[in-house]
Amino acid sequence: MRKLSVERWSPALGAEVCDLDLGLELGGDEELAAATVESIYDALIDHQVLFFRNQPLTPEMQVRLGQLLGDLAPRHHSYNTLPEHGDVAVLDWQPGDRPDASEWHSDMTFREKPPFASILKAVIVPPVGGDTLWASMYSVYDSLDPGFRSDLEGMQICHDPGQFRNGAYESAGNQGITDMMVSAGSAVWPIVSHHPVTGRPYINVSESNSRWIMGTGAGESQRIVNYLLDAINRPDHQVRLRWRPDTIAIWDNRGSQHYAVADYPTYRRVMHRVAVDTDRRLEQRVAERPTVTVT
């Protein structure tokens, strides 16, 4: 494995990987690329989100990085992709647009299988503004009163596509919303989920996508959700990135959330994203577990 130089940015989560040329590492031989990605994976599990400065990766290289982490995710239901690279989603916000990521969320938790990780590259950024924040849901869980944590055990909450309804309605009215909800789907998750690698408990409730605690009424559900959203908003659990062109962020979608600040109404912001569907190393570990025969 390659030893990385990693600088922690906040107690809760987030670290910058320094003195690493991703293009050089990924463009080298297969053994070097594999060793580098193994080290990146371990750092990702430790820090939840990693930042890389001055990384002018081509779309091919960004896709390759994703493929070395796992199988890539299906195409997003709403975002366009690069014409020649269908695995690279283009998040292009023009002056006057209303960005759809200025809410706390984990990517696509309304799917039965959300992506394991995302790789986001800054292409065009405002001269000021347009930062992204990440929050550790481990840290949020740990901050809650033990009695309340116990109350949350066993509760499940439904996630749906949230404000993607806006674009669906603009394009096709009521039927557009119905069609989008069918194609995008919804999923129910434990409020206290556990990371499949670390085993650590985390809060799986988001501002964007969490709609209803199963088995409760509207008032009770909303009160609990609002309490948890207030906790997520505390800066104690967060790290903030100021983007520069060719900055790359990689985050573990399990146990973290992010918020893209929409404070650049007169500027354009363009990002390229590759979503990794499966954690190949986790799948390998599961496959290698010995089979226990009960007699």
Judge whether 105 counts as a catalytic residue: yes
Judge whether 98 counts as a catalytic residue: no
Which of 47, 64, 87, 105 is an active site residue? Answer: 105
Which of 64, 159, 258, 272 is an active site residue? Answer: 258
Are residues 180 and 165 in contact, defined by beta-carbon separation less than 8 angstroms? yes
Judge whether 149 counts as a catalytic residue: no
- Pairing status of strand 132-136 against strand 256-260: antiparallel
Which of 87, 100, 107, 252 is an active site residue? Answer: 107
Tokens of 5: 């130089």
Euclidean distance between CA atoms 283 and 143, whole angstroms:
31
Residue 90's identity, in one-letter code, is: V
Judge whether 76 counts as a catalytic residue: no
Residue of 137, 194, 105 lying closest to 12 (CA atoms): 137
Residue 277's identity, in one-letter code, is: D
**30-47 and 59-69 helices, crossing angle to 10°:** 70
Euclidean distance between CA atoms 108 and 50, whole angstroms:
20
Are residues 25 and 36 in contact, defined by beta-carbon separation less than 8 angstroms? yes
Q: Known catalytic residues? A: 105, 107, 258, 273
